[in-house]
A = this chain, B = another copy of it.
Amino acid sequence: MQTIKIIKKMRAFSNKLRSEGRTIGFVPTMGALHEGHLSLVRRSKSENDVTVVSIFINPTQFGPEEDFEQYPRNMESDLGKLSGLSTDAVFIPDDTEMYPEGPAVSVHTGHIGEILCGASRPGHFDGVATVVARLFNAVMPNRTYFGQKDYQQTVVIKKMVREQGLDAEIIVCPIIREPDGLAISSRNAYLNTGERKAAAVLHKALKHGEDLMKKGADDPSQVIKEMEKVIGSEPLAEPEYVEIVSPEDLSSMIKISIPACLCLAVKIGTTRLIDNVIVQKNAG
């Protein structure tokens, strides 16, 4: 497994592969790798000649009050996991490599980055889009793999790729869950035992909303109210938002139409968790 720290070397690596007609699959991560990330790496390996994983905890997508400092860092363990999957290359730039002049030139995502998670995390999706654009320029992937757990992120990035005319395919992979339904996330490590148990309420609420829709419920505010009741039953849980939106563009619905994305952000103690379910036609 090659370890690359410099953008120029990363691009030379990719340029060589591209000139040989070999395809590059790319999995951008912030490290603290878990089964969700590893599922993306496996998928990339099955679909591309070469797989590159980046590990970079991007400062520009954290707000000043957020958890940049305490975000889990386990580089050695991460490299072991990637090596175990026979990942071809790991790209590990540092802050001065990614932001040589500070984060002055940035990508601005507009409305789609200001709703849902963007409402409580101003600037977050601009930071995500900025770093992903820079990573794309370094890695020049044919296909890039993201987890559905950060669903809004996948919509923002697809929009950026479409609008900026970037030559990259975005592939969204299913959420990996714990046995009780909790979506696997690096931030689950923040939970104590009681909170960890309570965190199952996110998926429970989503499943309840999905069930109601499958039974024909078509009033979004009614379904949202029912999902909020489920969250309200858990004393450690404080909902930030519960929404039903179009999976395509995250627009809200006056009347529920399928496919629909049920999504939510909930604080469990001091830890903010997100999750979503996409209800498809003929699903279940």
CA distance A213 to B264 in the complex (A): 63
State the interface size on chain A (CB cutoff 8 A): 28
* Interface members, chain A 87-135 (any B CB < 8 Å): 99-101, 104-112, 126, 129, 133-134
Q: Note all chain B residues with C-beta closer than 8 A to A137.
A: 164-167
**Contact between A106 and B110, CB atoms less than 8 A apart:** yes
The closest CB in chain B to the CB of A101 belongs to: B163
Interface assignment of A162: CB less than 8 Å from any CB of chain B: yes
- The A interface, classified by DSSP as helix, strand, loop or mixed, is helix
Nearest Cβ on chain B to A14's Cβ, whole angstroms: 10
A160 at the interface (CB under 8 A from B): yes
A11 at the B interface (CB under 8 A) = yes
Q: Does A7 contact B (CB under 8 A)?
A: yes
Most chain-B Cβ atoms within 10 A of its Cβ — which of A104, A109, A110, A133?
A104
So how many copies of this chain end up in the complex? 2
| B residues in contact with A112, CB < 8 Å | 104
At the interface, yes or no: A138 with Cβ under 8 Å from chain B?
A: yes
**A159 CB within 8 Å of chain B:** yes
Could you write out 27 A-B pairs with CB less than 8 Å apart?
A7-B165, A11-B167, A99-B163, A100-B162, A100-B163, A101-B159, A101-B162, A101-B163, A104-B109, A104-B111, A104-B163, A105-B107, A105-B108, A105-B109, A105-B129, A105-B160, A105-B163, A106-B107, A106-B108, A108-B108, A133-B164, A134-B163, A134-B165, A137-B164, A137-B165, A137-B166, A138-B165
| Interface set, chain A 152-184, CB cutoff 8 A to B | 159-160, 162-167
- Tell which of A106, A160, A163 has the most Cβ of chain B within 10 Å: A163
CB distance from A251 to the nearest CB of B (A): 12
A139 to chain B, nearest CB (A): 10
Residues of B within 8 A of A107 (CB): 105-108
Instruction: Identify the closest chain B residue to A21 (Cβ).
Output: B19
Nearest CB on B from A156, distance (A): 8
- What's the Cα separation between A179 and B164 when bound, in Å? 41
Q: Which residues of B contact A104 (CB under 8 A)?
A: 109-112, 159, 163
